Structures are given as C-alpha cells and as structure tokens.
C-alpha cells in the first residue's frame, strides 16, 4: 500500500512539474513585411514574444544578423496583461540569394530576479540583384490587346517601303565596306554595361539615400569583377573581396582601395553620411577600378 501511495505521489508531482514547465515557456512568432527584395532594400522584421508573468526583457543587448545590416531596432511592451513584447528590426541585405535571418539569443529577467533567455526562430528572405534581367517587374493590370484592322493597300505600301529600305541598306553597307578593310563590331561588353550602369546611378543619385547609393555602386563593381574573373564577389565579405581584387590592380593603389572599401562599409549605416565631395570621389574611384580591372 505504501509503495502504491509513493508511486501515485511521484506521478502527480511529475505531471505538475510538466504542466508548470509547459506554461512557463515563451510563445514566440516572427514576421516579415517582404519575402523578396532587391539588394539594399529595407525589410521590417518583427519578433513577438509572450513571456512568463512579471518577466522583463533586458534592455542592453547586442543583436547581430550574419548577412544583414541592422539599420534600426526597438523593443516595445505590447500588453501588460499577457506580458508580451515586440522586437522590431529594420534590416538590409548586402548579398544576393536566399539569405537567413539567424536565431537571436534574447535575455530576460524572471519575476524572482533570475536571468533567462529564449531563441528566436529563423526567417528567410530572397534578395535579388538590380543588374540583369531580374529588374523586370510583373505588371498585373495590362488590358487585353485590341485587334487592329489593316487595309490591303497599307500592307502593299509597307512591303514596298521595306524593299526600298533593304536596297538602300545594301548600298550603304557596300560603301562603308569600301572605306574600311574590316567593319568594327559594335558590341556592349560587360565593362561597358558596368560603366553605363554606374553613370546612370550617379546621375540619379539625388533620388536615393547615400546608403542605398553605396549599396548599388558596390553591387555594380562586384558584379563586373565576378564576370571578368569568374568568381562570386556578391557572396564575399569586404576583406575577402579586397584580398581577391587587389591582385588584379596596380599595387600602388591598394591602400587607397582598402580605404575606399571601408567608406562603403560605413555608408551602409544610418549614422554615417558621406559628403558630396566624398560621394563624387568614391564614384570616380569606382569608375577607375572598372577601367583597370
């Protein structure tokens, strides 16, 4: 009888401990305002958590996401009754691909003064490039095409015009061929595309923030270096990129190149805004690098 009684007591205590443990766990969920963005775009990442009663999140904490810059962050207490909090982050990616917002360790203080922590779930974002075919957007509200009625006389005149145009083109081609031995091929190579993209970005620099401008300028340089030397610069850290590219440029500008990359890193944060002269100098140095590579 005594043994059975002890067995019952142990089981009751086990059930009570399990119940208390389950109800003491934090309830956590995360949300993103966007799941697919261009490089440098700001994404709002929100973590909602319900803590045990009278527990408080520690204010002084350092958060970090491996593939993202944290532009700003905030911790708000949403409800006293449920003791729920919201951790809000504005983040921006400086790489392309399917990137992961890694788990964060968040510390809080229990009602009895003891320390505790919880881990946030991971979230994924697809980051795409502004250089290339991915800039084309899907337009949803295009109206259906109308059928055009064309009279036969217009078709006949169009054919005559095309024939005359072809004949004129043949005569022009023969005349040009007589002036030069070998016609020059007009082709847009990767360096020309990169220089054109950089020029257009600089012309429209007043329409974007300095941080976004530096993101785009860095992307143009890294994209060209990737195509020219067959390596994936977009997935490299700043130090890895410097170590790879410095072997392809004159040694005497390596120090200037390293300082230039440091300015790019600083410009990604809201607390640093380059002057107009610095922006112009960095644009000219980017152009110089594209021409040297």
Question: How does pLDDT run across 142-162, given as a tens digit for each residue?
Answer: 445 555 566 778 787 889 989
| Coil, helix or strand at residue 30 | strand
Q: Are 29 and 123 in contact (CB under 8 A)?
A: no
Q: Are 53 and 61 in contact (CB under 8 A)?
A: no
Percent of the chain with pLDDT over 70: 79
pLDDT digits (tens, 9 = 90+) for 259-273: 888 887 777 665 677
- What global pTM score does this model have? 0.45
Q: Where are the alpha helices (DSSP H) in the chain?
A: 2-24, 152-179, 190-203, 210-229, 238-245, 254-267, 276-292
DSSP state of 15: H
Residue range 96-106, pLDDT digits in tens: 888 888 888 88
Rounded to 10°, the helix 276-292/190-203 angle is 170
Torsions phi, psi for 21 (to 5 deg)? -65, -45
Is residue 166 pLDDT above 90, yes or no? Answer: yes
**What strands lie across the sheet with 105-109, from one edge to the other?**
56-57, 105-109, 115-119
Best-predicted range by mean pLDDT among 16-30, 120-134, 184-198, 206-220?
206-220
Instruction: Supply the DSSP string of 88-141, one letter for each residue.
Output: EEEEEESS-EEEEE---EEEEE-TTS-EEEEEPPPEEEEEE-SSSGGG------
> How far is 232 from 159, CA to CA, in rounded Å?
49
Predicted pLDDT of residue 29: 87
Confidence (pLDDT) at 16: 47
Q: Which of 93, 86, 90, 85 is nearest to 44 (CA)?
A: 90
Taking a C-beta distance cutoff of 8 angstroms, is the pair 99, 125 a contact?
Answer: yes
Question: What average pLDDT does this structure show over 14-37?
Answer: 66
Nearest CA among 210, 240, 209, 206 for reference residue 222: 240
199 confidence band (pLDDT: 50, 70, 90) = very high
More confident residue, 24 or 63: 63
User: Is 50 exceeded by the pLDDT of residue 20?
Assistant: no
Please tell me the distance from the alpha carbon of residue 16 to that of residue 176, in angstroms, as a whole number.
94
Least-confidence region, from 5-9, 38-42, 51-55: 5-9
pLDDT at 142: 42
Q: What is the predicted pLDDT for the residue at 256?
A: 87
Q: Check residue 15 and give its pLDDT.
A: 53
């Amino acid at each position: 009888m005594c043994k059975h009684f002890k067995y019952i007591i142990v089981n009751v205590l086990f059930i009570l401990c399990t119940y208390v443990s389950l109800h003491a766990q934090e309830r956590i969920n995360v949300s993103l305002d966007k799941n697919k963005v261009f490089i440098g775009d700001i994404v709002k990442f929100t973590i909602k958590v319900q803590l045990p009663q009278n527990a408080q999140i520690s204010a002084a904490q350092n958060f970090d996401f491996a593939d993202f810059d944290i532009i700003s962050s905030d911790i708000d207490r949403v409800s006293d009754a449920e003791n729920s909090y919201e951790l809000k982050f504005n983040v921006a990616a400086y790489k392309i691909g399917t990137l992961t917002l890694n788990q964060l360790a968040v510390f809080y203080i229990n009602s009895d003064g003891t320390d505790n922590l919880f881990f946030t779930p991971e979230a994924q974002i697809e980051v795409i490039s502004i250089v290339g075919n991915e800039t084309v957007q899907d337009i949803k509200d295009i109206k259906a095409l109308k059928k055009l009625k064309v009279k036969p006389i217009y078709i006949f005149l169009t054919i005559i015009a095309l024939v005359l145009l072809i004949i004129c083109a043949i005569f022009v081609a023969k005349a040009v061929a007589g002036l030069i031995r070998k016609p020059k091929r007009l082709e847009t190579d990767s360096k020309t595309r990169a220089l054109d993209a950089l020029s257009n970005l600089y012309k429209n620099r007043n329409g974007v923030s300095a941080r976004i401008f530096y993101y785009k300028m860095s992307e143009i340089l890294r994209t060209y270096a990737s195509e020219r030397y067959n390596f994936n610069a977009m997935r490299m850290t700043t130090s890895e990129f410097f170590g790879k590219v410095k072997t392809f440029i004159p040694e005497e500008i390596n120090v200037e190149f390293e300082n230039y990359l440091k300015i790019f890193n600083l410009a990604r944060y809201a607390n640093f805004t380059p002057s107009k002269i610095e922006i112009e100098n960095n644009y000219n140095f980017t152009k110089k690098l594209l021409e040297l590579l």
